[in-house]
């Protein structure tokens, strides 16, 4: 029980990495707030968390709206009276050639992936300062480390998340608040499945073929499960990592080591 009696907010908890993190945190004793725009899927996560023995609430939240993020934090305080851990995981992907990318595309990806992470931090930091402790884990991506074709805007936001986490790690160290990011490689979630579909349609080849290509990118030659990323998030959220702040952990199956 690495998170016994800890209170955690997990954004983007309806599916994928966020859902796996919510279930793992429940098994480790955390009480959670699950935040997402997808109420139906989030309520399925609520059930899975409760089945795993966890206490949880769902707060419908669009992380790109500051007012929603503020409400997410307030509801968590009303329910549990403290926030020990914030996992800024909600994100959207954009795979498009630069010249076809519209202003709306840019605004959407920036507002969820960058502003959403920042708002989460902004509204949690004052409470963590008051408590004298806290941990923030932001989900970035390999796209923030390496250049990927058709990923300029997405990669830009993820590079921004790595830089933001580093800066906040430095800013908040004296308040006993640790801030780090995790950069996953290819993880088998609805997001990646969606990417594969888009790419297959664009190139007129099968989804299986695109999936095989993606798998070849990592030296382990397979995708990660969402649970493998959740374990990294747990590590950074728990007292197992008390000497890590302002850092980024790559969980990418060796993709960027090549």
Residues forming contacts to ligand NAD in the complex (CB under 6 A) are: 11-12, 14-18, 36-38, 61-64, 89-93, 112, 116, 139, 141, 184, 186-187, 189-192
CB of 227 to ligand NAD, least distance (A): 11
Whether 80 is catalytic is no
Q: Residue 90 contacts by C-beta under 8 Å, 6 or more apart in sequence?
A: 11, 12, 18, 35, 36, 63, 112, 116
Q: Residue 141 contacts by C-beta under 8 Å, 6 or more apart in sequence? A: 154, 155, 158, 183, 184
Residue 236 contacts residue 244 (beta carbons within 8 Å): yes
Closer CB to ligand NAD, 173 or 219, in the complex: 219
Residue 99: CB minimum distance to ligand NAD, A: 23
State in angstroms the smallest separation of the CB of 11 from ligand NAD. 6
Select 64 or 150, whichever has its Cβ closest to ligand NAD.
64
CB of 4 to ligand NAD, least distance (A): 26
CB of 109 to ligand NAD, least distance (A): 10
Distance CA(233)–CA(159), nearest Å, equals: 18
d(CA 257, CA 254): 5
Comparing CB distances to ligand NAD, the nearer of 66 and 175 is 66
Which CB, 111 or 176, lies closer to ligand NAD?
111
* Alpha carbons 144 and 179: distance in angstroms, whole number: 17
What is the C-alpha separation between 187 and 241, in angstroms, rounded? 23
Task: Kindly tell me which of 81 and 258 has the beta carbon lying closer to ligand NAD.
Answer: 258
Catalytic residue numbers? 154
């Amino acid at each position: 029980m690495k998170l016994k009696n800890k209170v955690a907010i997990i954004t983007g908890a309806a599916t994928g990495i966020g859902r796996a993190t919510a279930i793992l945190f429940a098994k480790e004793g955390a009480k959670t707030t699950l935040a997402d725009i997808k109420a139906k899927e989030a309520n399925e996560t609520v059930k899975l968390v409760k089945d795993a023995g966890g206490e949880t609430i769902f707060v419908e939240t669009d992380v790109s709206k500051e007012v929603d993020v503020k409400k997410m934090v307030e509801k968590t305080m009303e329910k549990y009276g403290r926030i020990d851990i914030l996992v800024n995981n909600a994100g959207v992907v954009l795979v498009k050639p630069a010249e076809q990318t519209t202003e709306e595309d840019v605004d959407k990806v920036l507002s969820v992936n960058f502003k959403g992470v920042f708002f989460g931090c902004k509204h949690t930091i004052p409470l963590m300062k008051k408590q004298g402790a806290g941990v923030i884990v932001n989900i970035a991506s390999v796209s923030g480390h390496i250049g990927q074709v058709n990923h300029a805007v997405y990669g830009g936001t993820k590079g921004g998340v790595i830089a933001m986490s580093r800066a906040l790690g430095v800013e908040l160290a004296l308040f006993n608040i640790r801030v780090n990011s995790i950069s996953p490689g290819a993880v088998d979630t609805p997001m990646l499945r969606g990417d594969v579909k888009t790419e297959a349609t664009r190139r007129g080849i099968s989804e299986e073929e695109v999936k095989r290509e993606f798998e070849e990118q990592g030296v382990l030659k397979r995708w990660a499960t969402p649970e493998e990323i959740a374990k990294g998030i747990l590590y950074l959220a728990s007292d197992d990592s008390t000497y890590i702040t302002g850092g980024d952990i790559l969980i990418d199956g060796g993709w960027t080591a090549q």
